[in-house]
Structure 1
Amino acid sequence: MPFNDKRIISGQGTVSLELLEQVPDLDAIVVPISGGGLISGVTLAAKAIQVFGWLEAAAVADDAAQSKIAGRLIRRQETNTIADGLRAFLGDLTWPVVRDLVDDIITVEDTEIVDAMRMCYEILKVAVEPSGAIGLAAVLSDKFQKGFAVKGCNKIGIILSGGNVDLGVLWESFGK
């Protein structure tokens, strides 16, 4: 579990340091959660502002959200989602950071992820993998727009990551 390593978590924290260097007055950062290495590093480095975690399809891969609600680590047996990069589980180093320091976790559906990927490609001309587009999907979702935790957040940094896209699966999902 490479994401559950102190060195990986520390290295991932540089993402938020670079983001805050470019946009120092951010109100929040939106980060994907899988094993928790990226969100742990980002959260530890940027805790002066709000950090939100986002998971894919609520019904099939919401172990971090369920864990945060329950206050204990929960692992799903199956995680069937287009966002294959988010199929890992929180570890013993990443879970306490998510539990204690991440402000909120909201789930989105696969269709919202595909819409965000399409938007990245059409507007930014960047291919972003499903797991990396989930932050944009979350910010565009009704759950985020109506969420109690995001009130007052006017400047939001969204971490988009990864270009590992299986184009056959992507084109097929666009057709659905």
Structure 2
Amino acid sequence: MLQNAKLRMSCVTVAGPTVRSREGTATRVLQETGAVLVHPYNKGTISLEFLEQAPPIDTIIVPISGGGLLSGVALAAKSINPAIRVLDAEPRGANDAAQSKAAGRIVTLPETNTIADGLQAFLGDLTWPIVRDLVDDVITVEDKEIIEAMRLSYDILKVAMEPSGAIGLADVLSDDFRNNPAWKDCIKPTT
């Protein structure tokens, strides 16, 4: 516990929707309170339980923002089954992971522009090496493809999805995914 931290009267500090605004607000709160930031970009997360319940899975598609979820999934999945494919789903308007994988180093975009507002953060320095080394490929889609996936989910399943949650479906429905020979065995024909 920080002895010198000032107590704040409010529980929530509101920031703007951009990465720059959120980071600026976080910096201000840290300076005002003496708190310590545990950055969401640099933490691992779930998938062990998921893979224990569904062991025959050969491919996992995970959305990316800061890389915490994707790196956690990749670490767990590859430790259970090194042959499993882990793919990154990313909007083209916030494609820093795709650009980073292509460049072999973290690329930070000057700004993002996507309907998938939950996927507008940037890779963290601790998540990047995991994404670089364990994620097999990045599939990017346009916002119109995300919107179509949302519509299909609602029309067929009666499930309303927010854009960041619909991006995995948008990826598997995309021409880039379906026409990529590396993923031909991921697509099972319907009978």
Name the TM tier (shorter chain). 0.7 to 0.9
Correspondences of 1:7-156 after superposition (within 5 Å): 9=44, 12-13=45-46, 16-47=47-78, 48=81, 49-56=84-91, 58=92, 60-153=93-186
Distance 1:153 1:19 in 2: 19
TM-score (norm: length of structure 1): 0.78
Which aligned runs of 4 or more in structure 1 are off by greater than 3 angstroms? Answer: none
Distance 1:79 1:94 in 2: 19
User: For the structure 1 residues 113 and 37, does the alpha-carbon distance in structure 2 shift closer, same or farther, using more than 3 Å as the test?
Assistant: same
* RMSD (Å) for aligned C-alpha atoms: 1.6
Distance 1:147 1:118 in 2: 24
The structure, 1 or 2, with the larger RCO (C-alpha pairs under 8 Å, 6+ apart) is 1
Matched position secondary structure for 2:186: coil
Cα distance per residue 1:72-93 (max 9 Å; x no partner): 1001111011001100000011
Cα distance per residue 1:115-163 (max 9 Å; x no partner): 11112222222221101110000001010111233132358xxxxxxxx
Given that residues 67 and 131 in structure 2 are in contact (C-alpha distance below 8 angstroms), is that contact kept between their aligned partners in structure 1?
yes
Distance 1:134 1:78 in 2: 19
Matched position secondary structure for 2:99: helix
Given that residues 62 and 87 in structure 2 are in contact (C-alpha distance below 8 angstroms), is that contact kept between their aligned partners in structure 1?
yes
Matched position secondary structure for 1:46: helix
What stretches of structure 2 of length at least 5 have no aligned partner?
1-37
Distance 1:54 1:82 in 2: 14
Q: How many residues align?
A: 147
Q: CA deviation at 1:4?
A: 2.5
User: For the structure 1 residues 119 and 22, does the alpha-carbon distance in structure 2 shift closer, same or farther, using more than 3 Å as the test?
Assistant: farther
